[in-house]
Structure 1
Amino acid sequence: MLLALPPKEIQIRSAQYLNAKCTEIDTMLSKTRSSIEEYKKLKQAVITQAVTKGVRGEREMKDCGVEWAGLVPHHWGVAKIGSIGQTSSGATPLRSKESSFFDDATIRWVRTLDLNDGFVYDSSEKITELALASSACSIMPKGTVCVAMYGGAGTIGKCGLLMSDCATNQAVCSIVCNRKIVSPIFLLMQLLALKPYWMKYAVGTRKDPNISQDIVARMKILIPPLDEQKEITDYLDAKCAEIDKLIAKKEQLVKELESYKKSLIYEVVTGKREV
């Protein structure tokens, strides 16, 4: 391979120029990424505050005995997830049957990587009717709340609300709520609030311990009256949308800065930009 080499003084000048420019860009990238993380922390704090304290202002509080919640409104109840809904987990059809279980499939099959801490509209992989009939998979209805049980600190506790009927694999715990007690969207918001705490309950000798369906079922959550649950979720829908817009703008800026850095380096080293 032949490389075009400019005179040494141009090489030095180009290197100095790129070093200065890339340092500027890297500084901007670092600040922008830090800003994104701060917005994410703000979102987490807003959710936690709303689902543990409500949105009705000052009122009488009580110690509910739930570690992650602290003081809560005195009239709120507490219940284990297993007592306010049915929990289950799915399965993985045999990979050796790839052609008949996965090819040209249409049934959404949700795995931990599909859980986005929000609404789940689709899955990265699908299975066939034959796969469903030949495995321990079952269809979970729209409105099911899912929690990631495997994958270590970066994955355990990720959650999502199914927006259509889906199957899941064994790494996902599915919760079908009793809607007379708790709304699925409110449960989702509570799971987001307690997400940082799941690893305290993880067990196993592997490098990345897991939680189990039983651990999920025994986790305590807060139960405000249904009308108050709706107030809280309506409030969070608006507040989180505002924060998500800010995060999206910052993420777009990161992409633009990374693209600019690559194009700048290319233009300088190929002589398309004089320095």
Structure 2
Amino acid sequence: MNLFAETPENWTKASVGTFCEVQLGKMLQNDPSSERDELKPYLKAINVGKEGLDLSHEFSMWIRPQEADRFRLIKGDILVSEGGDAGRTVVFDADGEYYFQNAINRVRPNHQGKIVPEFIYYWFTFLKITGYVEMICNVATIPHFTAEKVKTAPLALPSLDTQRCIARFLDEKTTRIDGLIEKKRLLLEQLAEKRHALISRAVTKGLKPDALMKPSGIDWLGSIPAHWQVIALNKVTTKITNGYVGPTRDIFVPEGVRYIQSLHIKDNRILFGGDYFVQKEWSNLHAKSILALGDVLVVQTGDIGQVAHVTTEHVGCNCHALIICSPRTDLLIGEFLSWALCSDYGQRFLQLVKTGALHPHLNCGNVKYFPVVIPPLKEQAEINVHVRGRIHEHHYAQAQIELSMAKLKEYREAIITDAVKGKIAELR
């Protein structure tokens, strides 16, 4: 990967270590080693935010007097994430006394008056955009952008005036682009709120605004149509069980029975990417987690409360660590149950009954008491058609907004790349 290709001939080509001091942060010290040690604020990888320096997360550790100068941050330092999202970069521009942990590399220009920190920030952003960081970090394992790798990273350096011009230009451009992206992100939030409101109203109030209402008997549910019932989930299902919960390391095969996991459940849809399969014989041995038409799946751990119903497309799949609810077809349509669980009152219930402080999860023994609001089957079907159609419109609008955001992000990356490689004539 030749990152110097197409850069102007009069730019200096070297390594980061030629012009910058690179220092890995201090290993976490939870206790003082002497009475002279002081408890000081420090930064972790989480403070190296995607949107810039994030000081909303506060941490402290003990600093020895002889380490203070070595690990203290000054304005203009460039902070590069060592692990996790390796290569993510911010400029340290905060007031106050801060130190940094060994999840961060500090890049400090050692040629005063020859390097603009903001230019180095954009150069590291370019290194991440191009895939250089990913390539050099060997992401087949846990990626680590070590201090040595940072030092040897290539650096193309124009004159000081050109660095300033490029940094100012990119500050203005990226601020404008980021503002547009933020507006679209807010649109997605508003769309999600409207979607939840639509679902919640349909499954708790029905489609007829003039319907006679009655108290549901549940404070946080309110009134429901007078001819509807409220029945516990275990009374309107033939089965509430778990998907397979054993180890999966040795069960996957290149082709076979599709194996649905929590990562495939999103917004009442099963989004299987063709990535996990098990042998048919294995699936038959674990028949209780084979999916049938109309089953409703609830994510137990991680993104708790994500729900989807099984359509003809996924009948016969097996699944992992999901709660499977099989509705009684004489009382309840699976799709309606899934909308009910996706509604505000359904989500509130699931969050209420989750257990485990460190690793929150749902279990069948609690979920079975979910109070299902049950209209007549004909009305359930009508509500399903109504909600499905409106949600389809929402998903289309969401896809358009996300596509627009992706194009803005691509443009942002392209303009950073062109600027730091000297391809924008007016900035040379």
Contact kept, 8 Å, 2:293 with 2:310, in 1: the verdict is: yes
Gaps of 5+ in 2: 1-12, 15-154
Contact kept, 8 Å, 2:265 with 2:271, in 1: the verdict is: no
Contact kept, 8 Å, 2:268 with 2:342, in 1: the verdict is: no
Contact kept, 8 Å, 2:254 with 2:276, in 1: the verdict is: no
Q: Structure 2 residue aligned with 1:89, among 222, 229, 242?
A: 242
* Cα distance in 2 between the residues matched to 1:233 and 1:243: 15
Q: Which amino acid aligns with 1:72?
A: I
* Cα distance in 1 between the residues matched to 2:366 and 2:226: 26
18-27 or 234-243, which moves further after superposition?
234-243
Verify: 1:234 aligned to 2:385, yes or no.
yes
Q: How many residues align?
A: 267
Q: Flag the 1:25–1:196 CA change in 2: closer, same or farther, 3 A.
A: farther
Contact kept, 8 Å, 1:104 with 1:128, in 2: the verdict is: no
* Cα distance in 1 between the residues matched to 2:195 and 2:222: 19
Superposed CA offset, 1:150-184 (max 9, x none): 22xxx111111123222122x21101111111111
TM-score (norm 1): 0.90
Contact kept, 8 Å, 1:144 with 1:175, in 2: the verdict is: yes
Verify: 1:23 aligned to 2:23, yes or no.
no
Q: Classify the secondary structure of the residue corresponding to 2:241.
A: strand
Gaps of 5+ in 1: none
Shift of 1:272: 1.0
Partner of 1:104: 254
Contact kept, 8 Å, 1:173 with 1:213, in 2: the verdict is: yes
Q: Identify the structure with the greater strand proportion.
A: 2
Q: How does 1:64-79 map to 2 (within 5 A)?
A: 64-79=216-231
Contact kept, 8 Å, 2:353 with 2:367, in 1: the verdict is: no
Partner of 1:158: 306
Contact kept, 8 Å, 2:242 with 2:322, in 1: the verdict is: yes
Q: Flag the 1:95–1:189 CA change in 2: closer, same or farther, 3 A.
A: closer
Verify: 1:115 aligned to 2:265, yes or no.
yes
Verify: 1:266 aligned to 2:414, yes or no.
no
26-35 or 4-13, which moves further after superposition?
4-13
Q: Identify the structure with the greater helix proportion.
A: 1
* Cα distance in 2 between the residues matched to 1:67 and 1:128: 47
Superposed CA offset, 1:116-148 (max 9, x none): 232326364221134335557542212211111
Q: Which amino acid aligns with 1:90?
A: G
Superposed CA offset, 1:8-53 (max 9, x none): 2121111111101111011111111111011001100010011100
Partner of 2:191: 39
Q: Which runs of 4+ in 1 moved over 3 A?
A: 92-96, 121-124, 133-138
Shift of 1:220: 0.7
Q: Structure 1 residue aligned with 2:404, among 242, 253, 256?
A: 253
TM-score (norm 2): 0.59
* Cα distance in 1 between the residues matched to 2:348 and 2:182: 24
Task: Indicate the structure (1 or 2) with the bigger Cα radius of gyration.
Answer: 2
The structure, 1 or 2, with the larger RCO (C-alpha pairs under 8 Å, 6+ apart) is 1
Q: Classify the secondary structure of the residue corresponding to 1:222.
A: strand
Percent of aligned positions with the same letter in both sequences?
26
